[in-house]
Amino acid sequence: MTTSPPTALTIAGSDSGGGAGIQADLRTFFACGVHGMTAITAVTVQNSVGVRGFTEIPADVVTDQIRAVAEDMGVHAAKTGMLATAEIITAVASTLDNVHIGLHGTAPLVVDPVAASMHGDALLRADALEAIRTELFPRATLVTPNLDEVRLLTGMEVTGPDSQRAAAEALLALGPRWVLVKGGHLHTDPRCVDLLSDGTEHVELAGPRYDTPHTHGGGDTLASAITAGLAKGLDVPDAAAAGKRFIERAVAESYPLGAGVGPVSPFW
Ligand code: PLP
């Protein structure tokens, strides 16, 4: 290969079990044909059973990683995952402006507002949720909350399509250009319906619901696949549709590993 592929940057935490976080992001970028780069925010100690704890990386080391790759290699699209602390979030937000990523810049930014693992283990210190709302949402091209994150961010309980639409509107009021309210935890529908909206256009992304407990890293994988699509120049609706197809396949082929919850699969 003599030409450079598109580049995507993930600003997120490491998962020692290899199922979620930076590890899921990098293999998704690879599978989607983009060059993946990382700004690691925290090192989690976890396996298939749960998160035993995490240590955050100093905020200036996080932002130095972003600047180093942006200044030299260029970033076609970026995503945030686990950000750990309000201090990291605030530092990341102003650095993204400086390197022209997000709504104030030219490269799209996907914000996956990771707050806790599927086991309920916190991945964010208590004061950090407000920083995600005020510092990152106004800079985001797209935010991708699941229904637990919707509740934490807006106080709204999504129980069906009407409240999913209302939640999308409440989240858009926080400033992102687009929101994807993921319906995977909405068991009133036999399908898995995600709502993509910019307030004007409302797109239902519907797919099959697979009967598997092994969905660790699913949220990260979807957000990364969308980010890869944006890095390749797709618009948000096309990148979201491509991301949805990617995560469906990854969930369909997920596998057991360890005594707890196995990961969505990068193998196909
Ligand atoms: N660990 C890290 C580092 C993550 O970024 C995430 C999710 O974003 C998780 C764990 C939790 O993944 P899950 O909710 O799929 O268990």
Q: Find the mean pLDDT for residues 45-57.
A: 97
| pLDDT over threshold 90, residue 73 | yes
Query: Does residue 25 line the site of ligand 1, with CB under 6 A?
Result: no
Residue 107's DSSP bridge partners are 101
For the 7-252 domain, the top CATH level (class) is: alpha beta
- Residues 6 or more apart whose CB falls under 8 angstroms from that of 3 comprise none
Contact at 8 Å (CB) between 206 and 128? no
Predicted local confidence at residue 41, as pLDDT: 98
Inter-CA distances, 87 with 35, 140, 228, Å? 28, 18, 27
Predicted local confidence at residue 213, as pLDDT: 95
| pTM over 0.95, yes/no | yes
Query: Does residue 227 line the site of ligand 1, with CB under 6 A?
Result: no
ipTM of predicted assembly, 2 dp:
0.92
Query: Does residue 262 line the site of ligand 1, with CB under 6 A?
Result: no
- Short-list 254, 196, 259, 197, CA closest to 221: 254
| Lookup: tokens for 4 | 């450079």
- Of 55-59, 157-161, 264-268, minimum mean pLDDT range: 264-268
Q: Find the mean pLDDT for residues 128-146.
A: 97
Query: Does residue 219 line the site of ligand 1, with CB under 6 A?
Result: yes
| CA 143 – CA 80 distance, rounded (Å) | 10
Q: How far is the CA of 160 from the centre of ligand 1 (A)?
A: 25
Query: Does residue 12 line the site of ligand 1, with CB under 6 A?
Result: yes
| CA 116 – CA 82 distance, rounded (Å) | 9
Q: What is the DSSP string of 102-132?
A: STTSSB-EEE----B-TT--B-B-TTHHHHI
pLDDT bracket for residue 164 (50, 70, 90): very high
- Residues 6 or more apart whose CB falls under 8 angstroms from that of 169 comprise 197, 199
Q: How far is the CA of 117 from the centre of ligand 1 (A)?
A: 5
Q: Where are the domains of the chain?
A: 7-252
